[in-house]
Structure 1
Amino acid sequence: MKKSFRVKKEKEFQKVFHSGSSKANRQFVVYVLAKEDQSHFRVGISVGKKVGNAVMRNSVKRKIRQALLELKPTIQSEIDFIIIARPPTVKLSTEEIKKSLIHVLKLAHVLYEQKQI
Protein backbone atom coordinates (compact mmCIF):
# COMPACT_ATOMS: atom_id res chain seq x y z
CA MET A 1 0.00 0.00 0.00
CA LYS A 2 1.24 3.47 -0.82
CA LYS A 3 1.83 5.90 2.03
CA SER A 4 -1.07 8.05 0.86
CA PHE A 5 -3.40 5.12 1.66
CA ARG A 6 -2.27 4.91 5.30
CA VAL A 7 -3.37 6.60 8.50
CA LYS A 8 0.01 7.24 10.14
CA LYS A 9 -0.19 10.04 12.69
CA GLU A 10 -1.30 9.48 16.28
CA LYS A 11 -3.73 12.43 16.05
CA GLU A 12 -5.45 10.86 13.02
CA PHE A 13 -5.68 7.47 14.76
CA GLN A 14 -7.26 9.09 17.82
CA LYS A 15 -9.77 11.01 15.70
CA VAL A 16 -10.96 7.77 14.07
CA PHE A 17 -11.13 6.01 17.48
CA HIS A 18 -13.08 8.76 19.21
CA SER A 19 -15.31 10.01 16.39
CA GLY A 20 -15.79 6.85 14.34
CA SER A 21 -18.06 3.85 14.74
CA SER A 22 -16.78 0.34 15.41
CA LYS A 23 -17.69 -3.20 14.41
CA ALA A 24 -15.95 -6.42 15.39
CA ASN A 25 -15.73 -10.15 14.89
CA ARG A 26 -13.50 -12.72 16.63
CA GLN A 27 -10.36 -11.72 14.73
CA PHE A 28 -10.66 -7.98 14.07
CA VAL A 29 -12.09 -4.70 15.32
CA VAL A 30 -12.70 -2.00 12.70
CA TYR A 31 -13.22 1.69 13.45
CA VAL A 32 -14.64 3.74 10.56
CA LEU A 33 -14.81 7.50 10.09
CA ALA A 34 -16.43 9.06 7.01
CA LYS A 35 -14.41 11.90 5.46
CA GLU A 36 -15.84 14.11 2.75
CA ASP A 37 -13.78 15.24 -0.25
CA GLN A 38 -11.23 12.43 -0.03
CA SER A 39 -10.12 10.83 -3.30
CA HIS A 40 -9.33 7.42 -1.77
CA PHE A 41 -9.66 5.51 1.48
CA ARG A 42 -6.96 5.49 4.17
CA VAL A 43 -6.31 2.61 6.53
CA GLY A 44 -4.38 2.17 9.76
CA ILE A 45 -3.35 -1.26 11.01
CA SER A 46 -2.74 -1.99 14.67
CA VAL A 47 -1.42 -5.31 15.97
CA GLY A 48 -0.76 -5.29 19.70
CA LYS A 49 1.79 -7.19 21.77
CA LYS A 50 -0.85 -9.69 22.92
CA VAL A 51 -0.78 -11.11 19.38
CA GLY A 52 2.84 -12.26 19.71
CA ASN A 53 6.42 -11.21 19.21
CA ALA A 54 7.56 -8.76 16.53
CA VAL A 55 7.95 -11.45 13.87
CA MET A 56 4.38 -12.66 14.39
CA ARG A 57 2.95 -9.13 14.48
CA ASN A 58 4.72 -8.15 11.26
CA SER A 59 3.52 -11.34 9.59
CA VAL A 60 -0.09 -10.54 10.54
CA LYS A 61 0.31 -6.97 9.22
CA ARG A 62 1.68 -8.24 5.89
CA LYS A 63 -1.26 -10.62 5.51
CA ILE A 64 -3.75 -7.84 6.30
CA ARG A 65 -2.09 -5.49 3.79
CA GLN A 66 -2.19 -8.22 1.11
CA ALA A 67 -5.90 -8.83 1.75
CA LEU A 68 -6.61 -5.09 1.56
CA LEU A 69 -4.66 -4.83 -1.69
CA GLU A 70 -6.91 -7.53 -3.19
CA LEU A 71 -10.05 -5.82 -1.81
CA LYS A 72 -8.98 -2.30 -2.86
CA PRO A 73 -11.50 -1.92 -5.75
CA THR A 74 -14.42 -2.78 -3.45
CA ILE A 75 -13.53 -0.38 -0.60
CA GLN A 76 -15.39 2.93 -0.40
CA SER A 77 -13.24 5.98 -1.13
CA GLU A 78 -14.38 8.66 1.33
CA ILE A 79 -13.45 6.95 4.61
CA ASP A 80 -10.62 6.45 7.06
CA PHE A 81 -10.61 3.17 8.94
CA ILE A 82 -8.47 1.40 11.51
CA ILE A 83 -8.10 -2.38 11.69
CA ILE A 84 -7.10 -3.84 15.05
CA ALA A 85 -5.99 -7.47 14.98
CA ARG A 86 -6.92 -9.71 17.90
CA PRO A 87 -4.72 -12.61 19.12
CA PRO A 88 -6.48 -15.42 17.14
CA THR A 89 -5.21 -13.89 13.85
CA VAL A 90 -1.75 -15.41 14.40
CA LYS A 91 -3.05 -18.89 13.58
CA LEU A 92 -4.82 -17.85 10.37
CA SER A 93 -3.59 -18.17 6.80
CA THR A 94 -3.73 -15.26 4.35
CA GLU A 95 -6.98 -16.58 2.82
CA GLU A 96 -8.61 -16.97 6.25
CA ILE A 97 -7.57 -13.44 7.19
CA LYS A 98 -9.06 -12.15 3.93
CA LYS A 99 -12.39 -13.95 4.61
CA SER A 100 -12.54 -12.59 8.16
CA LEU A 101 -11.70 -9.07 6.95
CA ILE A 102 -14.43 -9.23 4.29
CA HIS A 103 -16.90 -10.24 7.01
CA VAL A 104 -16.02 -7.42 9.41
CA LEU A 105 -15.70 -4.80 6.64
CA LYS A 106 -19.20 -5.69 5.40
CA LEU A 107 -20.51 -5.28 8.95
CA ALA A 108 -18.85 -1.85 9.13
CA HIS A 109 -20.22 -0.87 5.66
CA VAL A 110 -16.73 -0.25 4.30
CA LEU A 111 -17.16 -2.42 1.20
CA TYR A 112 -19.41 -1.43 -1.69
CA GLU A 113 -22.50 -3.62 -1.88
CA GLN A 114 -22.08 -6.33 -4.50
CA LYS A 115 -25.06 -6.81 -6.81
CA GLN A 116 -26.09 -10.46 -7.06
CA ILE A 117 -26.95 -11.64 -10.59
Structure 2
Amino acid sequence: MRETPQRRNRLSRSRDFDAVYRRGHSTSTRYLVLHAFPREPPDVELEQPSRLGLAVPRSVGNAVVRNRVKRQLRATWDELAVLARPGRDYVLVARPGLAEPADTRGHEWLVERVTEILEKSGLEKADA
Protein backbone atom coordinates (compact mmCIF):
# COMPACT_ATOMS: atom_id res chain seq x y z
CA MET A 1 0.00 0.00 0.00
CA ARG A 2 1.38 3.40 -0.95
CA GLU A 3 1.73 5.97 1.75
CA THR A 4 0.05 9.26 0.94
CA PRO A 5 0.97 12.52 2.68
CA GLN A 6 -2.31 12.41 4.62
CA ARG A 7 -1.64 8.82 5.71
CA ARG A 8 1.79 9.78 7.03
CA ASN A 9 0.15 12.40 9.25
CA ARG A 10 -1.95 9.86 11.14
CA LEU A 11 -1.32 8.13 14.44
CA SER A 12 -1.38 4.36 14.13
CA ARG A 13 0.78 2.94 16.92
CA SER A 14 -0.72 2.11 20.28
CA ARG A 15 2.18 3.79 22.08
CA ASP A 16 1.50 7.07 20.26
CA PHE A 17 -2.16 6.97 21.35
CA ASP A 18 -1.11 6.12 24.91
CA ALA A 19 1.31 9.07 25.04
CA VAL A 20 -1.40 11.47 23.91
CA TYR A 21 -3.93 10.06 26.39
CA ARG A 22 -1.54 10.00 29.36
CA ARG A 23 0.45 13.20 28.90
CA GLY A 24 -1.77 15.30 26.69
CA HIS A 25 -4.59 17.63 27.56
CA SER A 26 -8.22 17.05 26.59
CA THR A 27 -11.24 19.12 25.66
CA SER A 28 -14.75 17.80 25.16
CA THR A 29 -17.99 18.81 23.54
CA ARG A 30 -21.29 16.98 23.25
CA TYR A 31 -20.15 14.94 20.23
CA LEU A 32 -16.33 14.82 20.40
CA VAL A 33 -13.36 14.66 22.75
CA LEU A 34 -10.03 16.07 21.56
CA HIS A 35 -6.76 14.99 23.19
CA ALA A 36 -3.62 16.93 22.22
CA PHE A 37 0.05 16.45 23.01
CA PRO A 38 3.08 18.42 21.71
CA ARG A 39 5.73 16.21 20.12
CA GLU A 40 9.41 16.39 20.95
CA PRO A 41 11.58 18.34 20.35
CA PRO A 42 9.67 21.63 20.55
CA ASP A 43 12.31 23.62 18.63
CA VAL A 44 11.31 21.98 15.32
CA GLU A 45 7.59 22.34 15.98
CA LEU A 46 6.94 24.46 12.89
CA GLU A 47 8.49 21.91 10.54
CA GLN A 48 6.40 18.97 11.72
CA PRO A 49 2.79 18.68 10.57
CA SER A 50 0.15 17.76 13.12
CA ARG A 51 -0.82 14.08 13.29
CA LEU A 52 -4.30 12.69 13.94
CA GLY A 53 -5.52 9.50 15.54
CA LEU A 54 -9.18 8.52 15.61
CA ALA A 55 -11.02 6.55 18.28
CA VAL A 56 -14.58 5.53 17.59
CA PRO A 57 -15.84 3.25 20.39
CA ARG A 58 -18.42 0.50 19.99
CA SER A 59 -20.98 2.63 21.77
CA VAL A 60 -21.16 4.78 18.61
CA GLY A 61 -22.65 1.91 16.60
CA ASN A 62 -21.89 -1.26 14.73
CA ALA A 63 -18.79 -1.70 12.55
CA VAL A 64 -20.43 -0.15 9.49
CA VAL A 65 -21.43 2.97 11.42
CA ARG A 66 -18.04 3.28 13.15
CA ASN A 67 -16.16 2.99 9.86
CA ARG A 68 -18.42 5.59 8.23
CA VAL A 69 -17.82 7.97 11.16
CA LYS A 70 -14.05 7.42 10.83
CA ARG A 71 -14.15 8.17 7.09
CA GLN A 72 -16.17 11.33 7.71
CA LEU A 73 -13.84 12.50 10.49
CA ARG A 74 -10.74 11.82 8.37
CA ALA A 75 -12.18 13.83 5.48
CA THR A 76 -13.10 16.66 7.84
CA TRP A 77 -9.65 16.68 9.46
CA ASP A 78 -7.89 16.67 6.06
CA GLU A 79 -9.85 19.82 5.28
CA LEU A 80 -9.23 21.48 8.67
CA ALA A 81 -5.67 20.31 9.43
CA VAL A 82 -4.36 23.74 8.42
CA LEU A 83 -6.16 25.17 11.47
CA ALA A 84 -4.37 22.88 13.93
CA ARG A 85 -1.06 23.81 15.50
CA PRO A 86 1.85 21.98 13.85
CA GLY A 87 4.11 19.68 15.84
CA ARG A 88 1.28 18.16 17.87
CA ASP A 89 -0.41 14.80 18.03
CA TYR A 90 -4.19 14.83 18.25
CA VAL A 91 -6.62 12.04 19.10
CA LEU A 92 -10.23 12.73 18.20
CA VAL A 93 -12.70 10.51 20.08
CA ALA A 94 -16.26 10.23 18.80
CA ARG A 95 -19.05 10.16 21.35
CA PRO A 96 -22.15 7.97 20.94
CA GLY A 97 -24.44 10.76 19.69
CA LEU A 98 -22.23 11.68 16.71
CA ALA A 99 -23.23 9.09 14.10
CA GLU A 100 -26.85 10.02 13.40
CA PRO A 101 -26.44 13.82 13.18
CA ALA A 102 -23.34 13.42 11.00
CA ASP A 103 -25.39 11.37 8.53
CA THR A 104 -28.50 13.53 8.51
CA ARG A 105 -26.90 16.98 8.70
CA GLY A 106 -23.96 16.37 6.38
CA HIS A 107 -20.34 17.31 6.03
CA GLU A 108 -20.71 21.01 6.86
CA TRP A 109 -22.21 20.14 10.25
CA LEU A 110 -19.26 17.88 11.05
CA VAL A 111 -16.79 20.58 9.96
CA GLU A 112 -18.50 22.97 12.40
CA ARG A 113 -18.21 20.43 15.26
CA VAL A 114 -14.49 19.83 14.67
CA THR A 115 -13.81 23.56 14.29
CA GLU A 116 -15.76 24.17 17.50
CA ILE A 117 -13.64 21.73 19.51
CA LEU A 118 -10.38 23.12 18.08
CA GLU A 119 -11.43 26.64 19.09
CA LYS A 120 -12.60 25.51 22.53
CA SER A 121 -9.28 23.77 23.17
CA GLY A 122 -7.30 26.84 22.12
CA LEU A 123 -5.21 24.65 19.82
CA GLU A 124 -5.92 26.34 16.53
CA LYS A 125 -3.14 28.31 14.90
CA ALA A 126 -2.89 31.93 15.93
CA ASP A 127 -2.67 33.07 12.29
CA ALA A 128 -5.54 30.89 10.99
Any unmatched runs of 5+ in structure 1?
A: none
Residue 3 of structure 1 deviates from its aligned partner by 2.5
Residue 90 of structure 1 deviates from its aligned partner by 0.5
Residue 114 of structure 1 deviates from its aligned partner by 5.3
In 2: Cα distance, 1:77 partner to 1:45 partner:
17
Stretch of structure 1 that moved more, 35-44 or 57-66:
35-44
Give the corresponding residue for 1:7: 11
State the number of aligned residues.
Answer: 115
1:92-103 correspondence to structure 2 within 5 Å: 92=102, 93-103=106-116
Any unmatched runs of 5+ in structure 2?
A: none
| Higher percent of residues as helix | 2
Identity score, percent: 25
- After the TM superposition, list the runs of 4 or more consecutive aligned residues in structure 1 that deviate by more than 2 angstroms: none
TM-score scaled by structure 2? 0.83
Residue 45 of structure 1 deviates from its aligned partner by 0.3
Give the corresponding residue for 2:57: 48
1:1-117 correspondence to structure 2 within 5 Å: 2-35=6-39, 36=42, 37-38=44-45, 39-91=48-100, 92=102, 93-113=106-126
